[in-house]
Amino acid sequence: MKKIKVIIFSLLSSILLTQNSSADGFGMGVTASFAKLDVDGKEDVDNNGTTDATKSVSDDVFVGSIFAEYTFENLNSTGLALTVGADYIPVEADIDKRSITQSSLKATADGAATSGTNSVEGTVKDHFTVYIQPGSMINDSTMVYGTLGYAFADLNGKSTSLTHTNINESKDLEGIKYGIGVKKYLTNAFVKFDISKTDYDDVSFTTSNNTKATADLDVTMASLSIGKQF
């Protein structure tokens, strides 16, 4: 996965940097986002296809990222535009630890009944998004656009439980991003505001004693970007 990320980002950067610079061409900058992470989890204790427990949690986080993009504006003199770009989040985003008290009654005849705390947490890191943003110029300095992108990252999941062996494992996280936004051009700079959602594929972890845990992660973001035009 890491090699794929490097190759995609390198190829995209090469394409962007080889374009002729213009007032409305290549740009790069930083983005600040308020993100809501929604996670639906389920547990299949004996991995037989039956869900034995479910849990849904939400976390709110602030996220910073860097991006590079190239915008082709006024395509064929129609007023339409197309932006291609890549975004990278250089910091980790944590899914806060959740805990619950549980009692285990197995082997009660042997005096093995126990109680304790189950917990689960996760960390998302090395998050890349490649995207296209078809848009329309509503005047000489303002564009409205839609976003369609492909996001990929590493998800590290950790879990401790009375009913299964502990989990500490990394998985590839992939998803589709879509949204809408507006871009305002200034002198040699621009500002963007957009709202987006990324729907990630389910990620599953299987313990050594054959318990399967599955997480479904969705992220909704409101983002403000400031960029330099070249």
> What's the rounded mean pLDDT across residues 143-171?
75
pLDDT reported for residue 204: 76
Please count the CA atoms within 13 angstroms of the CA of 68 that sit on its side-chain side: 12
What is the model's pLDDT at position 105?
46
Q: How far apart are CA 125 and CA 102, in angstroms?
A: 30
Q: What's the confidence (pLDDT) of residue 9?
A: 58
Q: Which of 53, 38, 40, 58 is nearest to 164 (CA)?
A: 53
The pTM assigned to this predicted structure is 0.74
Contact 148, 177 (CB under 8 A): yes
pLDDT for residue 76: 65
Q: pLDDT, tens digit, for every residue of 88-140?
A: 998 776 665 444 444 444 544 444 545 444 555 667 788 999 999 999 988 88
How many beta carbons lie within 10 A of that of residue 89, not counting itself?
A: 21
Are the C-beta atoms of residues 25 and 19 closer than 8 Å to each other? yes
pLDDT for res 212: 74
> 173-230, pLDDT tens digit by residue?
899 999 999 999 888 889 999 999 999 988 777 766 677 777 788 899 999 999 998 8
pLDDT of residue 226: 94
Predicted local distance difference test score (pLDDT) of residue 176: 96
Instruction: Tell me the per-residue pLDDT of 7-64, one tens digit each, with 9 for 90 and over.
Output: 555 655 554 444 443 446 889 999 999 998 887 777 666 666 666 667 777 888 888 9
pLDDT value at residue 2: 59
Given this model, what pLDDT does residue 223 score? Answer: 96
CB burial string 129-140: b at 16+ within 10 A, e below:
bbbbbebebeee
Domains, the chain, with CATH or none: 2-229 (2.40.160)
